[in-house]
Each structure stands twice: as structure tokens, then as C-alpha cells.
């Protein structure tokens, strides 16, 4: 357990021994990443540096309208944002009584939009160097990070996993999951799955509204405002990716691999499990790679982070019922800090205590994440 929890600090969340934030964002900038580009890639570094707006010209970060309430959290195209330092992240953890933070990128949620594969590889490597250098410390496992990989270059992504899998501070592999072409059930990604399984690291699938454009299932063309875009992109991405992976038998082919879906909330999960089971039973000849219901693979190998919970104050019993339908053992608390729509731990804890037993509450607040991420 993290050092400050060992010290016996009084916690406002009674009956909870450990709180793990399973989606704690850093806000990296292109300029920060360029400092970590290997000298062998100096030519590509200059190309990125000379771009008028690298977040748009190298990445394809776009919104149908400015993201308004999120603007302060992202800064000037992600370049002057909060939580850009270890000190800021630690202050955040202290304020919200978080024992562990599992970091997530922000700009690099749009890594799949980088058209040049070599640039995507270079930026992924630079991000990993930057986040390990800036946010992890020897002897302190309270802040951990996944290795971010470029999904458009699976062989190179596998090398990145192998090169970083045993680094201190690494706890998972992060796949920027909006705009994946082809979708993640395709055998194109097998090198990534093999490397993650070989290194004993769970795979995180994190969607991102900045990555949407013309790619199914979140096509930007007829989305006129940010509210439309942001409301749909996260759950739709998760539903599509889960469907692709299950019907293409990814968890069956990699039975020792754990999968985590981040920042899509809770409500879509029971419906999707029911829908996939229904179609498996109707069309099982089309999915011969599965030997049990899709929902059983979800129960065995998938976990989901809780943020955003949405407005649940008037009817917490409905949230508790939804959690029962998902299975509390498959859910992990996440904040999404420092983004303005974050959920503090109390947002989940206060809603579910009294409706779920203490074991389920403790599991969701931190104990399940301790197991998934191998925390000490």
C-alpha cells in the first residue's frame, strides 16, 4: 500500500483501506515530447517541431466546436495545462485521498490519428520516456504508468512493450482506442496482444473525443457541437471495440490477458453484454473461436473504470442496480482528473455504500485495481 496509507492517515471514506485512481491523466505537450526524441530521429523531430500546429498537423486533434468547459484543463492546445508535473499530481492525490494513480495520456489518446507511422512510433517512445522520467520515482509505487503504444505499427508497438515492460513504474499497456483502423479484433494487432501477455501486463483501451473524424463508429461529419461528440464517442468506441474483440475471439486466443476499458462509464456494459450473448446464440456459426458466451469472457478477463458516473444524486439505487448487472468485481474507480468532468472518490462511494456490501465497495474503490495492476 502507498506510504501515506501505511502511515495510518485518517480517511473520510470509512471502511475503505485503499483508493486507486485507475484513470489519472497527465497533460503532455508536443514541446515536452520533442525533448525526448532520440537523436537518431532528429530529422523527424525537426519536421514535427516546424509544423505550424503539431497537435493538428501531426496528430489530427479536432473538435466540432471548441470544448468550452474543457479548455482550461487542456490549456493552449494541451501545451500549458495543469497536472504537467509530479508535484501537481501529488497535490491532486493528497487532496482527494488517493493512494495510487494509474496515469493516462491526454494528447496521445489521439495517437491513432497520426498518419505517418514512423512519427507515431517516435511520439509513443518519446511519451514513454517523458512520463517515466517526470512522474515515476524509484522506491515509490504510488504513481504508475502504462506504456503507450502506436496501434498503427503493431510490430514496433510490440518492441516498445518488450523494451519497457520491466521498467520500474510500468504497470500496463495503453492502446489509444478511438479511430482504430482496422478495429481491435483484427489479427493485425496480434503482436501487441502477444507482447502484453508475454510481459504479464493488462491492456488498457482508452477512447478520446479528440481522435474522432471520419472513422466508424464515431464519424464527425454530422456532429455539429462538442456536446454531441463527447456524449457519444466514449461509449460508442467502447461498444464497437468490445464487440470486435469478442466476436474475433481475442480473449479466447489470449486467455491470460486482462483488458481494461477506460472512461466510458457503466451504463452501456449490461446492454452490450446482453446484445452480444443474444447474437452469439443466434449466429454462433459465425464466431467459432468462442467456446462460451461473450459475457463470460467479459466476466473473466475484462474490467471497466467507472468515470463518468453521470448525475446519480437523486437515484443512487439505480446506479447500484446497474453495478450489480455489470458485476462489481469488474469495475474500478477512476477520477479522470484533472479534467473538469472528473469524479472524486465520494461520487462513487457515497452512492453505493448502503446499497452494496462492504466487500464490493472496497473492491471497486481500490482492491480490484490492486490485483489488476499488480500493486504492492
How would you write the pLDDT of the chain (376 residues) with one tens digit per residue?
Answer: 444 444 445 567 877 999 999 999 998 999 999 999 999 999 999 999 999 988 888 998 877 787 665 555 444 433 444 457 899 899 999 999 999 999 999 999 999 999 999 999 999 999 999 999 999 998 899 999 999 999 999 999 999 999 999 999 999 999 999 989 999 999 999 999 999 999 999 999 999 888 776 665 656 667 888 888 888 889 999 999 999 999 999 999 999 999 999 999 999 999 999 999 999 999 999 999 999 999 999 999 999 999 999 888 788 999 999 999 999 999 999 999 988 889 999 999 999 998 999 999 999 999 999 999 999 7
Give me the count of residues in the chain. 376
Residue 7, class by beta-carbon neighbours within 10 Å (0-12 exposed, 13-18 middle, 19+ buried)? exposed
Burial label, 334 (beta-carbon count in 10 A; 0-12, 13-18, 19+): buried
How far apart CA 305 and CA 317 sit, in angstroms, is 19
Sequence-distant (≥ 6) Cβ neighbours of residue 149 within 8 angstroms: 124, 157, 160, 161, 173, 174, 175, 192
DSSP state of 186: S
CATH number 3.40.50.2300 given to 17-373: no
Is-contact 104 176, C-beta < 8 A?
Answer: no
Q: Write the CB contacts of 19 (distance below 8 Å, at least 6 apart in sequence).
A: 11, 13, 97, 98, 99, 100, 333, 345, 365, 366
365 secondary structure, DSSP code: I
Start-to-end Cα distance in the chain:
6
Per-residue pLDDT tens over the stretch 11-61: 678 779 999 999 999 989 999 999 999 999 999 999 999 999 888 889 988
- Give the Cβ contact number of residue 141 at 10 Å: 19
In whole angstroms, how far apart are CA 114 and each of 173, 175, 207? 19, 14, 15
> In this structure, are residues 168 and 142 in contact, taking their beta carbons and an 8 Å threshold?
no
For residue range 295-338, what is the model confidence (pLDDT) as tens digits? 999 999 999 999 999 888 788 999 999 999 999 999 999 999 98
CB-CB contact of 114 with 153 (8 Å): no
197-215: buried (b, 16+ CB within 10 Å) or exposed (e) per residue?
bebebbbbbbbbbbbbbeb
Tell me the CA distances in angstroms from 37 to 128, 129, 158, 295, one per residue in order. Answer: 10, 9, 19, 42
The alpha helices in the chain, defined as continuous H runs, are 3-6, 30-34, 42-50, 54-57, 71-74, 86-95, 117-135, 154-164, 190-198, 226-247, 250-253, 268-282, 294-301, 316-326, 345-352, 358-362, 368-373
| pLDDT of 358 | 93
Reported pTM? 0.93
Amino acid at each position: 500500500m502507498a506510504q501515506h496509507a501505511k502511515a495510518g492517515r485518517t480517511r473520510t471514506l470509512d471502511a475503505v483501506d485503499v483508493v486507486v485512481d485507475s484513470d489519472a491523466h497527465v497533460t503532455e505537450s508536443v514541446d515536452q515530447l520533442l525533448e525526448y526524441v532520440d537523436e537518431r530521429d532528429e530529422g523527424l523531430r525537426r519536421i514535427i517541431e516546424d509544423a505550424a500546429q503539431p497537435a493538428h498537423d501531426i496528430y489530427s486533434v479536432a473538435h466540432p466546436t471548441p470544448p468550452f468547459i474543457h479548455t482550461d484543463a487542456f490549456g493552449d492546445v494541451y501545451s500549458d495545462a495543469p497536472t504537467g508535473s509530479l508535484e501537481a499530481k501529488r497535490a491532486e492525490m493528497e487532496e482527494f485521498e488517493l493512494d495510487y494513480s494509474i496515469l493516462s495520456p491526454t494528447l496521445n489518446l489521439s495517437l491513432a490519428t497520426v498518419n505517418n507511422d514512423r512519427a507515431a512510433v517516435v511520439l509513443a517512445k518519446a511519451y514513454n520516456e517523458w512520463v517515466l522520467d517526470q512522474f515515476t520515482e524509484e522506491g515509490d509505487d504510488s504513481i504508475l504508468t502504462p506504456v503507450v503504444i502506436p496501434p498503427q505499427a503493431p510490430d514496433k508497438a510490440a518492441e516498445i512493450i518488450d523494451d519497457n515492460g520491466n521498467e520500474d513504474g510500468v504497470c500496463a499497456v495503453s492502446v489509444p482506442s478511438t479511430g482504430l483502423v482496422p478495429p481491435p479484433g483484427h489479427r493485425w494487432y496480434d503482436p501487441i496482444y502477444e507482447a502484453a501477455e508475454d510481459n504479464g501486463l493488462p491492456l488498457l483501451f482508452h477512447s478520446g473525443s479528440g481522435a474522432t473524424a471520419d472513422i466508424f463508429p464515431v464519424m464527425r461529419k454530422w456532429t455539429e457541437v462538442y456536446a454531441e461528440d463527447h456524449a457519444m464517442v466514449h461509449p460508442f468506441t467502447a461498444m464497437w471495440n468490445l464487440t470486435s474483440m469478442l466476436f474475433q475471439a481475442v480473449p479466447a486466443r489470449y486467455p491470460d490477458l486482462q483488458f481494461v476499458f477506460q472512461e466510458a462509464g457503466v451504463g452501456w456494459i449490461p446492454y452490450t453484454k446482453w446484445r452480444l450473448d443474444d447474437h452469439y446464440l443466434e449466429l454462433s456459426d459465425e464466431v467459432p473461436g468462442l467456446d462460451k458466451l461473450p459475457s463470460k469472457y467479459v466476466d473473466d478477463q475484462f474490467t471497466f473504470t467507472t468515470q463518468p458516473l453521470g448525475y446519480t444524486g437523486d437515484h443512487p439505487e439505480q446506479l447500484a442496480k446497474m453495478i450489480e448487472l455489470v458485476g462489481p468485481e469488474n469495475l474500478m474507480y477512476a477520477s479522470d482528473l484533472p479534467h473538469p468532468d472528473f469524479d472524486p472518490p465520494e461520487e462513487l462511494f457515497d452512492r453505493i455504500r448502503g446499497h452494496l456490501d462492504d466487500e464490493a465497495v472496497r473492491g471497486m474503490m481500490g482492491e480490484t485495481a490492486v490485483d489488476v495492476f499488480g500493486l504492492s
